[in-house]
Amino acid sequence: MLDPNYVRENLESVRTALAARNFSPEALDHFAELDAERRRVNSEADDVNHERNNASKEIGALMQAGKTEEATAKKASVAGLKERQAELEKLRDEADAAMRELLSGLPNLPAADVPFGADESANVEIRRWGTPRKFDFEVKDHVDLGTELSILDLERAAKVAGSRFAILNGDGARLERALINFMLDVHTRENGYKETQPPLIVNRDSLFGTGQLPKFEEDLFTLTDSRGFSLIPTAEVPVTNYHRDEILDAASLPMKFVAYTPCFRSEAGSYGRDTRGLIRQHQFEKVELVKLCLPEESEKEHEELTANAERILQLLGLPYRTVVLSTGDMGFSARKTYDIEVWLPSQQTYREISSCSNCGDFQARRMGTRFRRSGGGKPEYVHTLNGSGLAVGRTWIAVVENYQQADGSIAIPDALRPYMPGIEQISKV
């Protein structure tokens, strides 16, 4: 959520920023009048409240003094206040709701150093690590490799659940589990994150807080239960909302959480994209990194979080590149995002395996997550960051494809050996 005071004072630059994000700047056409109306109605309602409070206090004093007749007269004189107050409160609620509706639909503003552009073609590569391996045989993709090794069964997954689901078997399931444990261990032991295991179902307030609602309802799996529950599309939702509606001590920042969870996405609107294999599923495993930090430290923390995610690929020996997303390619809540893309030999290209975003105070304002500096003063909004560390299913793909051997078996990367004792490669059984 954008700061209404900021929007009021920077209306034109906000308009420009929205256009850069492919959002219609016309959403702001009614901001000024709506804002003025809201403040006018609010102060008027305050005035009537004041009047009413004073009258009630006087009546109370008269009653205690035993002057019941004067109290009764006073009561009669304030009889009309109640209706006026009800009217004004109704107006105020409507004005507040209208402003909230307007603001809650606006995306975050891009940071100043985000490249301007309409879509992913304007993303800028900022670094590259590792060298794609040269194969002296014809490479297969993870679907062929996995199916032939009987570690991946997409056909039966389609029967049991539907399309965009997968079943991992044997050493394939083992590899997935090894990756999860490996990632959690690196982030908790080396990178200083606190492991947390959140609910996989969240309420609507949490989804509003991180920005999935109100605009992206169709991306979610929502339960028919009357409580408005949804399956989490990412652990970012339950973990970032952990301190919703709280005022934190500045000394407790930064907070660094790592969570492994399954994620559920309806992928409505992505028909025809990435339909083959494990790339885009309705259910996938992810290890997520989340930070809450001081505003002045979020850029530094963002760089560090991205490096923490990259570290996993380095340890696994998987070539990757890191790009900064353009204004047109960023997600709703982000002010700056780095995508980490891993090399996939079958596609001869780099594919997204992690997205690391600095959300500034955008989510914190929606969630009401604030902190107080030592020495007192007004509470301020924290900055929130999140990033995949990493998407486990896509890491599985990258390992299988990059470590494939001429006979169709998969070598296990050194870093994973402790997690798959006794298994040096996955071969046909």
Applying CB under 7 A, does 376 fall inside the site for RNA? Answer: yes
| Cα 16-18-21 angle, rounded to 5 deg | 115
Question: Tokens 């006018």 label which residue?
Answer: 40
Instruction: Give yes or no: 355 in active site.
Output: yes
Query: Which one of 230, 333, 354, 355 is the catalytic residue?
Result: 355
Task: Give first-to-last CA distance, the chain, whole Å.
Answer: 54
Applying CB under 7 A, does 162 fall inside the site for RNA? Answer: no
Which of 32, 126, 160, 247 is the binder for RNA (CB under 7 A)? 247
Applying CB under 7 A, does 425 fall inside the site for RNA? Answer: no
Residues 73-102 vs RNA: string with x where CB under 7 A?
--x--xx--x--------------------
Instruction: Give yes or no: 372 in active site.
Output: no
Q: Which is nearer to RNA, 66 or 421 (CB)?
A: 66
Applying CB under 7 A, does 192 fall inside the site for RNA? Answer: no
Applying CB under 7 A, does 348 fall inside the site for RNA? Answer: no
Applying CB under 7 A, does 200 fall inside the site for RNA? Answer: no
Determine if the peptide bond prior to 214 is cis (ω within 30°): yes
Applying CB under 7 A, does 375 fall inside the site for RNA? Answer: yes
Classify residue 85 as exposed, middle or buried by CB count within 10 Å of its CB (0-12, 13-18, 19+): middle
DSSP β-bridge partners for residue 262: 285
Whole-number Å distance between alpha carbons of 141 and 278: 11
Evaluated on CA atoms 229, 234, 238, 240, the torsion sign reads negative
Query: Which one of 265, 335, 366, 370 is the catalytic residue?
Result: 265
**In this structure, are residues 240 and 386 in contact, taking their beta carbons and an 8 Å threshold?**
yes
**In this structure, are residues 235 and 261 in contact, taking their beta carbons and an 8 Å threshold?**
yes
Helices (H) and strands (E) in the chain, counts: 13, 15
Which of 121, 224, 348, 374 is the binder for RNA (CB under 7 A)? 374
Closest by CA to 395, choosing from 209, 147, 74, 142, is 142
Residues 206-235 vs RNA: string with x where CB under 7 A?
---------------------x--------
**How many of the other CB atoms lie within 10 Å of CB of 271?**
7
Applying CB under 7 A, does 56 fall inside the site for RNA? Answer: yes
Applying CB under 7 A, does 204 fall inside the site for RNA? Answer: no
Instruction: Give yes or no: 177 in active site.
Output: no
DSSP strand pairing (369-372 vs 246-249): parallel
Q: Which is nearer to RNA, 55 or 255 (CB)?
A: 55
Contact region with RNA (CB under 7 A), list: 71-79, 170-178, 214-222, 295-303: 71-79
Applying CB under 7 A, does 49 fall inside the site for RNA? Answer: yes
Contacts for 217 with CB less than 8 Å, ≥ 6 apart: none
Whole-number Å distance between alpha carbons of 77 and 71: 10
**In this structure, are residues 17 and 116 in contact, taking their beta carbons and an 8 Å threshold?**
no
Residues 7-46 vs RNA: string with x where CB under 7 A?
---------------------------------------x
Instruction: Give yes or no: 394 in active site.
Output: yes
Which of 40, 50, 194, 417 is the binder for RNA (CB under 7 A)? 50
Closest by CA to 104, choosing from 232, 215, 10, is 215
Which of 16, 22, 53, 197 is the binder for RNA (CB under 7 A)? 53
Would you tell me which residues interact with RNA (CB under 7 A)? 46-47, 49-50, 52-57, 59-60, 63-64, 75, 78-79, 82, 227, 247, 370, 372, 374-376, 378-379
Q: Which residues are catalytic?
A: 265, 280, 352, 355, 394
